[in-house]
Every structure is written in structure tokens, then in C-alpha cells.
Amino acid sequence: MNKVRTRFAPSPTGYMHVGNLRTALYAYLIAKHEHGDFILRIEDTDQERFVEGALDIIYDTLKLTGLKHDEGPDIGGPVGPYVQSERTDIYLKYAKDLIAKGEAYYCFCSKERLDKLREGAENSKKTYKYDKHCLNLSKEEIEKNLHDGIPYIIRQNNPETGTTVFHDDIYGDITVDNSELDDMILIKSDGFPTYNFANVVDDHLMGITHVVRGSEYLSSAPKYNRLYEAFGWNVPTYVHCPPIMKDAHHKLSKRNGDASFEDLIKKGYLKDAVLNYIALLGWNPRGENEIFSLDGLVDAFDYKSINKSPAMFDDVKLKWMNGEYIKKMSKEDFTQIAMPYYKKVISKDLDFTKISELLQPRVEILSEIPDFIDFFESLPEYSEDLYVHKKMKTNFENSIKTLEKIIPMFESIENWNIENIEKACMDLVKELGVKNGIVFWPIRTALSGKKFSAGGAYEIADIIGKEESLKRLHIGLEKLKNAAN
């Protein structure tokens, strides 16, 4: 068996869409599972769509995710160049080879004529298809047109009868009537190849054994196969992946502003969690485990387990998975990645390690951190109604009693630490003969001013210190007394 070689061939047209990253990941996993090569090729033949900085996004994303390519524009390799705009002479040569075989032809039709054909197809509610007008031009007519500098394109010459069969490893054998095949453009009037033609030529010359792409390209596959057959080349293994949907009717799409890989990282998702989740969008691992490192994915990945049915991008599941990754981090690593979020809302010199201990089990996305901890910086404005909690059985009256009694107990603590603070709270529970919540809820509310926060009463008090704790408890008591009156 030939060495497995796959490629990721993005166009530098913007950010890294989730679907693009899945294609890169699957291509990488197929190659590495078989100890093969993963190649990066830049497809920039559509110069009008080129976006400045998009190449950097491609390189940065592959580097960040650990999808290390074995050959590519930045590191070279034996079958370069790896940028399509640097290979234009190659495509023209192969297109002319097809003309010589009768498998392609020059087309000199004007834009006006093609527009009329398209308009006629639309009016008759038929699929537009070129009418082979230029196929039967004589050799003399072709040479005269070329000599006169008339703009031309080169088209594939597809048969109009019979069928074309191609095999996909996910979707099986697919048969298409040749009457449905358009004579697709191979070389455009600007001399650049079309995406479809350049792909076939490059995949062959670069020895690509497995082509991974979205299922939207299934309809183009018969035309690719006819090109392979016309050249007498081996057809690679096709692996078409199901679409990624954001709901039952709409595909995830960068044109619709759906999240890119960059967006997800900026929102506070971890790159390993995103990569893990994207792997599961269309692929089912054997067994119950869903949490995989990249090396674990390489070992487990079998592309024949990719589904045909669309994959749903589930924000809730991604959030859960990200939370699982956060929980597994060391406290030191979590504090380090959380620090920029801490600094957004806390300027005081607090013990951030203690804050991390409270936060790490609770947070699922890093961008949630500021809302969890902003009260450590200063007490927010809050309503006294927060003290009333049905489940805790607290009201204004018992909350006032709690705060009145805990303030002198806290004032008497000489060695301010979490153990002594907790002991004071528990002593008050015993003294009042009440459930924990009746004591802890009013204290926590007075210290945080929030319905939800990282940490309980004594943990918060320990972090913000004795002076700030007493100040906030006095504010809470005054607020309650005013409300009670």
C-alpha cells in the first residue's frame, strides 16, 4: 500500500471557519493514524477573494492546534511549490494536454452570450449548462482566435450520454447521468485555473491518497473523476464529511457570521477543547469516552466511522466539554490562563490562587470569569431583596439577626483565616439553633452583593480580608434595617 498522504488546502479568504478546521483535523488524523504525511497547500487562484492577513491566520491556527504539517509553503518539500498561484504554468500545460486528447477545448464565448444562455435556462426553469458551442470550432478558427488575442477559457469536454460512477468511502457508490454534467471551466480568462481543476492536478502531482472535503462537493466529484480518467491517473480515496448545522435548517457558515475558531478562543474556549469537540462533529468514537487529547484522537480515529447525517453544532455540549478541560487543569495553569480575566475587574492585590480554587470547579468558559469575581474589587449595587431566599428560609428579620451577631464575632477574630472565619459562622449556627443557610446566606449576600458568585461566605471573607468584610457587613445591616422600616 502507498504511504497515506492527505492535504489541507485552504483559501486565504478570511478567518478559520469551524468547518475548515474540521477538514484540517480529519485530514491530519487520517494521515497520522497511518503514519503518513499531512500537507498544507494554499489555494489562492481566486485572487479577488484574497484577504490580507488570512495566511497568517491559517499558519497560526495550525500551530496553535498542534496540526503540524510535514510539507507546505513555509517549510518546503519535494513536490512544491505549495501555493497554487506559483503553479499556473503547470495547470496550463495539463489543460493543453487534455485539449490534445479531445477531453477539453478552447471556449471563446463572450460574457453576453453566456449571460443569454443562463437567462434562457432560468426562464425555462432548467439548470444552466453550457451548450458546447465552441467544441466544434475548426483548428483554423481556433488558431485565428488565439492569434487575434480573443479572450478564452478552457472547458472540460464531458460526454452527454451514459453515466459516471464514483465511490466515496462515506457515501458509497454514486451514479450520475452524464447529461447532467456541465463542461466545467478548467482555465479562466485570466490564466488562473479554477478551484476544481487545480485540485485534481495538484492532488495527483503531490501524491495525495485521501481527499477530505465537505459533502457539498459530492456533486463535483464525477467531473473530478472524469479528469483523472482522462489523464490516466489513479483516483484518490474520497472522504466527504457531513455539513455542520447550527439548527435544523441552517448550516454553520462564516458568511452568516457564525463563530470561527478565533472567535471561540476569544470567547474563552480552550483550543484543546475546541479541537476535541470539532472531532466529534460527524465522527463517532467507539465506546463511551468523548474526551481525547490530539494524540488520543490520532490513535482512535477511523474515518470510516464518519456519519452521513448532518452534525449539529451544540453550544451547550461545547461549553460542557470546555468545563471538563478546565477542571482537569492544574491550579497553577488555570490561574495563569485566568489572570487576564482577573485583571479586567480586579486591581487590588488579592490572593488569586484562592480565587482560582473557588472558580475552577464552577467556570465553563473563561469569559464568564469577570462576572463571577467582580465583587472582589468592590461591592456592587444590590437590592435588599437578595436577602430573602425561599430555599434558605431567610427573610429581613432573621437576616438582620444574623448580621447583628456575626459582626462582633468577626471583630473578635485575631488571626483572620478561613478556619477561624468558618468556626465563627458555625458557632453562630449552633447559638441560634438554625439551619446553616439562615446564617450563611445573609453573610454571603452582604459580602458579595450578588445572587451568584464564586465561593461561600467564609471563603469570600478570607479573600477580601477582615476590614473589607466588616465594612460590607455593616452596609448590609444598614440596608436591611432601612428596608425593614
Domain parsing of the chain, residue ranges: 87-241, 379-484
Separation between Cα atoms, residue 88 and residue 369, nearest integer Å: 51
The three cell numbers of residue 139 are 483548428
- Cβ atoms 301, 283 nearer than 8 A: yes
Q: Which of 254, 271, 354, 405 is catalytic?
A: 254
pLDDT in tens, 190-223: 999 998 999 999 999 999 999 999 998 888 888 9
Cis peptide before 81, with omega less than 30 degrees from 0? yes
Instruction: Tell me the β-bridge partners of 106.
Output: 154
Q: Which CATH architecture has domain 379-484?
A: Orthogonal Bundle (1.10)
Separation between Cα atoms, residue 310 and residue 301, nearest integer Å: 19
- Cβ atoms 322, 273 nearer than 8 A: yes
Quote the percentage of the chain above a pLDDT of 90. 84
pLDDT in tens, 17-58: 899 999 999 999 999 999 999 999 999 887 777 778 889 999
Residue 254 appears among annotated catalytic residues: yes
pLDDT at 382: 94
pLDDT confidence band for 253 (50 / 70 / 90): low
Separation between Cα atoms, residue 230 and residue 204, nearest integer Å: 13
Phi-psi region of 373 (alpha: psi -120 to 50; beta: other; left: phi over 0): alpha
What predicted TM-score, i.e. pTM, was given to this entire model? 0.89
Topology match between the domains 87-241 and 379-484: no
Separation between Cα atoms, residue 227 and residue 230, nearest integer Å: 5
Looking at the predicted structure, is the pLDDT value of residue 2 above 90? Answer: no
Helix pair 352-359, 457-464: axis angle to 10 deg = 160
pLDDT at 250: 79
Separation between Cα atoms, residue 468 and residue 350, nearest integer Å: 12
pLDDT at 258: 60
pLDDT confidence band for 288 (50 / 70 / 90): confident
pLDDT at 100: 96
The three cell numbers of residue 1 are 500500500
Phi, psi dihedral angles at 163 (to 5 degrees): -135, 160
Average confidence (pLDDT) over 256-274: 87
How far, rounded to the nearest angstrom, does the alpha carbon of residue 405 sit from its chain's CA centroid? 53
- Cβ atoms 173, 165 nearer than 8 A: yes
The three cell numbers of residue 207 are 501524491
Separation between Cα atoms, residue 113 and residue 252, nearest integer Å: 36
Look at 2-11, 147-156, 214-223, 455-464 and tell me which has the smallest mean pLDDT.
214-223
Separation between Cα atoms, residue 149 and residue 193, nearest integer Å: 19
Q: 244 to each of 23, 266, 392, 409, how far by Cα in Å?
A: 11, 21, 44, 59
Strands (E), 221-301: 237-241, 244-245
pLDDT at 265: 94
Average confidence (pLDDT) over 82-98: 95
pLDDT confidence band for 256 (50 / 70 / 90): low
The three cell numbers of residue 82 are 505549495
Average confidence (pLDDT) over 388-409: 95
pLDDT in tens, 49-89: 777 888 999 999 999 999 999 999 999 999 999 999 999 99
Q: Output the known binding site for ATP.
A: 254
In CATH terms, the fold of domain 87-241 is: Rossmann fold (3.40.50)
Average pLDDT of every residue of the chain = 93
For the chain, report the end-to-end CA distance as a whole number of angstroms: 86
pLDDT at 43: 92
Instruction: For residue 212, give the H/E element and its range.
Output: strand 210-214
Average confidence (pLDDT) over 109-125: 94
pLDDT in tens, 473-482: 999 999 999 9
Instruction: Find all residues with CB under 8 Å of 302, minimum gap 6, and list them.
Output: 33
